[in-house]
Structure 1
Amino acid sequence: MAQPNQQKFPAVQGGGSLIVAWQIKGKRVLVVGGGEVAAGRILNCLNADALVTVVSPLARLNSEVAYRVAQNEVTHIDRNFEPSDLDGADMVLVAVDDPEASSTIWKLCKEKRIIANIADVPPECDFYFGSVHRDGPLQIMVSTNGKGPRLASTIRKFIAKQLPSNAGSAIETVGQLRVKLRQIAPRPEDGPKRMAWMTKVSDAYSLSQMCELTEEDMANLLRYYPSGKVPSMDVLQSLRGNPDGSKLDVFDGSFGFSVGA
């Protein structure tokens, strides 16, 4: 059997983490602690629609965590951690200034096979939190694999400054277009063609142009799908109020126009 050409494949770079978009909506997350670090963990989980329980004496809650409790955004248990708090938990986040207690909780989580993150103790973490830029549906995470959280924040801010201010809105528009496309091409066998066409759309228009697409634009754009073509933005805009393309020189009268990018 012939050996594959090694130069055609990327080299393995060990020592990294598997960065995924973890869906924890409706999952039970236990947060042990009520300080600044806990507040950040809690917000991250609430943003992901998790069900959060905080275990910490009331007197040790900082103002943000106390606010979450007062607004009933989290469930609060007003005492120190007890092993029974792990019952039913899908994830445990520990953020207390007590290394011995933290390690004890970590060991209990391992016994119960519950994934856990012990703040500021990389060896006792099943996963790390990164520094996240959020703009609507857009999320960009920078991770240093637990080695430099503050540097991760600096890098994240640098990346965010390079992005256009409307990046999130453009993604919302793409999402709407995908939903509409699936409505007109719902069959599983349509999948490859849908994906290929959406790739062309994403490559044809800039982020700012995506943001400018109206409901009428999307309806006109979808008329090109059967032919697999994507019109230029100029052509698409010329169809506003002119859906039959009568003002265009390149219309062949079929379902979809003969011009494409």
Structure 2
Amino acid sequence: MAEPSYPDVRGGGSLILAYQVRNKKVLVVGGGEVRTSAFDDKDSVSGFVDAAHTDTQVAAGRIVRLLEADANVTLVSPRSGLNPEVAYRAAQKQVIYHDRVFEPSDLDDPAITMVMTAIDDPEASSRIWKLCKERRIPANIADVPPECDFYFGSMYRDGPLQIMVSTNGNGPKMANIVRRRIEGSLPPNIGDAIAKVGALRKKLRQVAPGNEQGPKRMKWMTKVCVQWSLEELCDMETEDMDRLLESYDPDEVPSFQKVRSGLEPGEWEFDGSFGWSCVI
């Protein structure tokens, strides 16, 4: 009997997840473009007296990503150092903003899910990271890979579709180049197709509720996605979904053309899709 073949384990990677932070609290430290104090300069007993320059693009970009993931973002940074985009987010109350320098007590809130820093002083950032470790809070210290519990990759998004390319901290620019190559190879309407597949799945759960239907639902949806083209999935309308769902019980997937024809399932055999010939 042949030995089973299994894939080799290749260490050194990251566990890439779609982490749901909806309604969860995330602390961002830094959000400007001029040199500001990262820590309270009165906290000299603990040694937090370093200056730290907050990185413009990092702070703004990460705040946007968090907001798009529906997180509750708390930003700590002096107002005098905010860059225009971050200042706009604060003015629009898209984030909970504290106009001051970071204080160790900012990490005392048990609701904090993760911490991100965007300051270019490695020593100051490391101190925040150590505080996070003491409190077992996952942290990302910008531009310091060894002090990151998680990384940001180069992201492509089209509606519900999200693709992240990560180099595990080795080459952020390379991640961007690879992401652009992937983006250029995708059809322009793939986001719409995925959104409509999601709508079809919701309707299917209403037609066939219950956990016992789970395996059949998955198998049937897989056949739909394989047999219908992306263009057809994108063109699918509500009426098409309703007609298509009539084929769920018999576990069939008719063509898009048959569904769009408006005929009943029993009439599909005679819809003329294979052509007619007349011999005289």
User: Which whole-Å CA distance do the structure 2 matches of 1:138 and 1:81 have between them?
Assistant: 35
Q: TM-score, normalised by structure 1?
A: 0.90
* Gap runs ≥5 in structure 2: 32-55, 272-280
User: Which whole-Å CA distance do the structure 2 matches of 1:84 and 1:50 have between them?
Assistant: 21
Which residue is equivalent to 2:79? 58
User: Which whole-Å CA distance do the structure 2 matches of 1:247 and 1:144 have between them?
Assistant: 50
1:13 aligns with 2:10: yes
1:227 aligns with 2:253: no
Which residue is equivalent to 2:225? 202
1:23 aligns with 2:20: yes
Which residue is equivalent to 1:86? 107
Deviations 1:43-66 (A, max 9, x none): 110010000011111111111100
Which residue is equivalent to 1:77? 98
Give secondary structure in 2 for the equivalent of 1:231: coil
Q: Decide whether the 8 Å contact of 2:244 with 2:259 is kept in 1.
A: yes
User: Which whole-Å CA distance do the structure 1 matches of 2:25 and 2:163 have between them?
Assistant: 24
Structure-to-structure mapping, 1:182-201, within 5 angstroms: 182-201=205-224
The structure 1 residue matched to 2:183, chosen from 160, 165, 180, is 160
The 1:175/1:247 distance shift into structure 2, 3 A limit, reads closer
Which residue is equivalent to 2:130? 107
1:33 aligns with 2:54: no
Q: How far has the Cα of 1:10 moved from its partner?
A: 1.3
Which residue is equivalent to 2:152? 129
Q: How far has the Cα of 1:115 moved from its partner?
A: 0.4
Give secondary structure in 1 for the equivalent of 2:249: helix
User: Which whole-Å CA distance do the structure 2 matches of 1:93 and 1:227 have between them?
Assistant: 52
Q: How far has the Cα of 1:41 moved from its partner?
A: 0.8
The 1:49/1:37 distance shift into structure 2, 3 A limit, reads same
User: Which whole-Å CA distance do the structure 2 matches of 1:247 and 1:59 have between them?
Assistant: 69
Which residue is equivalent to 2:142? 119
The AA in structure 1 aligned to 2:93 is: N
Q: CA RMSD in A?
A: 1.5
Deviations 1:18-61 (A, max 9, x none): 00000000111000010221111101100100000111111111
Q: TM-score, normalised by structure 2?
A: 0.84
- Could you list the structure 1 runs, at least 4 aligned residues long, displaced by more than 3 angstroms after superposition: 242-248
User: Which whole-Å CA distance do the structure 2 matches of 1:86 and 1:30 have between them?
Assistant: 8
Q: Decide whether the 8 Å contact of 2:247 with 2:265 is kept in 1.
A: no
The structure 2 residue matched to 1:43, chosen from 64, 69, 77, is 64
Relative contact order (C-alpha < 8 Å, sep 6+): which is higher? Answer: 2
Q: Decide whether the 8 Å contact of 2:126 with 2:147 is kept in 1.
A: yes
User: Which whole-Å CA distance do the structure 2 matches of 1:197 and 1:245 have between them?
Assistant: 19
User: Which whole-Å CA distance do the structure 1 matches of 2:81 and 2:2 have between them?
Assistant: 62
The AA in structure 1 aligned to 2:107 is: L
Q: How far has the Cα of 1:187 moved from its partner?
A: 1.2
Percent identity between the aligned chains? Answer: 59
Give secondary structure in 2 for the equivalent of 1:225: coil
User: Which whole-Å CA distance do the structure 1 matches of 2:203 and 2:242 have between them?
Assistant: 8
Q: How far has the Cα of 1:243 moved from its partner?
A: 3.7
Q: How far has the Cα of 1:155 moved from its partner?
A: 0.8
User: Which whole-Å CA distance do the structure 1 matches of 2:107 and 2:2 have between them?
Assistant: 50
User: Which whole-Å CA distance do the structure 1 matches of 2:268 and 2:59 have between them?
Assistant: 61
* Gap runs ≥5 in structure 1: 251-261
Which residue is equivalent to 1:253? none
Q: How far has the Cα of 1:236 moved from its partner?
A: 1.5
1:175 aligns with 2:198: yes
